[in-house]
A = this chain, B = another copy of it.
Amino acid sequence: MSNNFSSLRINPARLRADFDALAQFGATGDGGIHRPSLSDAHLSARAWFRDQVEKTGLEFRVDGAGNHSAFLNCAAQPVIASEAKQSPTSNVEIASSRKPLLAMTPTLLLGSHLDSVPNGGRFDGALGVLCALEVLRVVKENQVALAMNLEAIDFTDEEGTLVGLLGSAAIAGHLRAEHLQNPRGGRDAWEQGIARAGLIEKEFLNAARPRESLGGYLEVHIEQGKRLVNARKPIGIVTDIVGIASYRLTFIGRADHAGSTTMEDRRDAAQGASAFTLATREIVMRDFPQCVANVGKMEFTPGAFNIVPARVIVLFELRAPTADEFARLDAALIERARIEAHRFGLELQIEFLGRHAPTPMSEHAQIAIRAACESLGLAYIALVSGAGHDAQNLAAVCPVGMIFVPSVEGASHSARELTEWEDCVNGANVLLHAALRIAGQPNF
């Protein structure tokens, strides 16, 4: 990369104006936002994004998966695409990734998502999209010529109100018809959402991009934890995204009158579910210090004061940074669920709901982010991401990297979400310089 560009910086006032404008869509009045995927608030935020893109003179694009993008044709000249290679971590054949007849200039994707969890915060996703847009503006207004084009992308349904990591799965060619038949938010919510957005289900399945068009993917995101704050470092460079497995466990006992049935005679599903919930925490803290587990919900049946619970459904997930810990933690927790059920005379039904394997970030992307931090004089630490991100899907088809900025008090998925403004600006500048390094080389 030319030294001419080392003094480039994003425009903090412009980024701030964007941030404040965007935070109005779905604002909940307590500093948070409520923008579930393809809700009216989310679609309003997307319409606002489109306006900004077009005002800036960037090209606005929407693909079959409803991903919204600003596109900047900044590659100096087409490069000759090498034959697309299957990533060893991908088991997917992408029809459109076959060797093209014509050269194709790769595009470096920068982005995140504009949807939120229910009653979420202003930073999660939104910050990454706005940093990406700002990087394109800076490159455009400085007429920087690169080896790759740039695209600032807002992925559809990252948070999983409907499906989860949806837009990136479609682009990467991972999405299958069956994923849309039984979406985690329910089929009705899915159909209503795409109808509201004017999208068509089968187009999601046709949205895979030719692999040779994907030059890489970089994302700025809030850490959603306290490690950067505790380490007093402004930047985290993600080394891996944890694997996630989720389960629905049903502890099954027997409904009895809670007054006239002795304690000894009960088969109380609440006892097994409660013992499992306490055990998950103990096992993780004692034997798996790099991992986490969460019982996010219990549902009691019949659920009356005076009836011994016959069934308790436990919604739980576990996360681990490496394949080895992932497998061992999974086995330890499921075994413990069986033990607790047996101890209280209960049956146990185990429904496995899905899994994302642990995903390492590209070594080259990490090097580029480190170099960007060093050129900007910003301290950094390496981190594992405990949250899932669209980079997981794209890792199978292109080099990916993630830049974390500090979360005050580690707050996330909450109105309390906060990143100091200086840290947001630092993240945007790291994204700019990492992107310039990567897109400056035709075969990064």
Which A positions have Cβ atoms within 8 angstroms of B?
117-119, 160, 223-226, 242, 244, 246, 254-265, 268, 270-271, 273-275, 277-278, 281, 284-285, 292-298, 300, 302-309, 315-317, 319, 385-388, 407, 410-414
**Does the CB pair B257–A285 fall under 8 Å?**
no
**Does the CB pair A258–B292 fall under 8 Å?**
yes
Excluding A274-B274, A296-B300, 19 further A-B contacts by CB distance (< 8 Å) are: A117-B306, A225-B257, A226-B262, A246-B305, A254-B414, A256-B412, A257-B413, A258-B292, A260-B385, A261-B386, A261-B410, A274-B278, A294-B308, A296-B305, A297-B300, A297-B304, A297-B305, A298-B300, A305-B315
- A254 CA to B410 CA in the complex, in Å? 11
**Does the CB pair B300–A306 fall under 8 Å?**
no
How far is the CB of A159 from the nearest CB of chain B, in Å?
9
- Residue of B119, B270, B281, B387 near A263 (CB, 8 A) is B281
14 chain-A/chain-B pairs, Cβ below 8 angstroms = A117-B304, A119-B302, A224-B259, A224-B260, A242-B259, A254-B414, A256-B410, A259-B388, A263-B292, A265-B410, A271-B281, A273-B274, A274-B278, A296-B300
How far is the CB of A17 from the nearest CB of chain B, in Å?
28
- A387 CA to B387 CA in the complex, in Å? 48
How far is the CB of A245 from the nearest CB of chain B, in Å?
10
Give chain B residues whose Cβ lies under 8 Å from the Cβ of A117: 302, 304, 306-307
Assuming A118-B302, A271-B277, A317-B306, is B296 touching A262 (CB within 8 A)?
no
- A277 CA to B257 CA in the complex, in Å? 17
Give chain B residues whose Cβ lies under 8 Å from the Cβ of A270: 277, 295, 298
- A377 CA to B306 CA in the complex, in Å? 35
A263, A265, A387 interface centre (most CB from chain B within 10 Å): A263
- A388 CA to B246 CA in the complex, in Å? 42
Give chain B residues whose Cβ lies under 8 Å from the Cβ of A285: 263-264
How far is the CB of A37 from the nearest CB of chain B, in Å?
13
- A130 CA to B255 CA in the complex, in Å? 26
**Does the CB pair A307–B296 fall under 8 Å?**
yes
- A116 CA to B284 CA in the complex, in Å? 44
- A308 CA to B225 CA in the complex, in Å? 13
**Does the CB pair A260–B386 fall under 8 Å?**
yes
Nearest 8 interchain pairs by C-beta: A224-B260, A258-B294, A257-B412, A274-B274, A259-B386, A225-B260, A260-B386, A274-B277
Give chain B residues whose Cβ lies under 8 Å from the Cβ of A275: 274, 278
How far is the CB of A134 from the nearest CB of chain B, in Å?
24
**Does the CB pair B259–A244 fall under 8 Å?**
yes
How far is the CB of A325 from the nearest CB of chain B, in Å?
14
- A292 CA to B260 CA in the complex, in Å? 8
**Does the CB pair A278–B278 fall under 8 Å?**
yes
**Does the CB pair B292–A306 fall under 8 Å?**
no
**Does the CB pair B257–A386 fall under 8 Å?**
yes
- A160 CA to B309 CA in the complex, in Å? 18
- A402 CA to B165 CA in the complex, in Å? 62
A257, A270, A294, A304 interface centre (most CB from chain B within 10 Å): A257
- A50 CA to B413 CA in the complex, in Å? 58
- A278 CA to B274 CA in the complex, in Å? 7
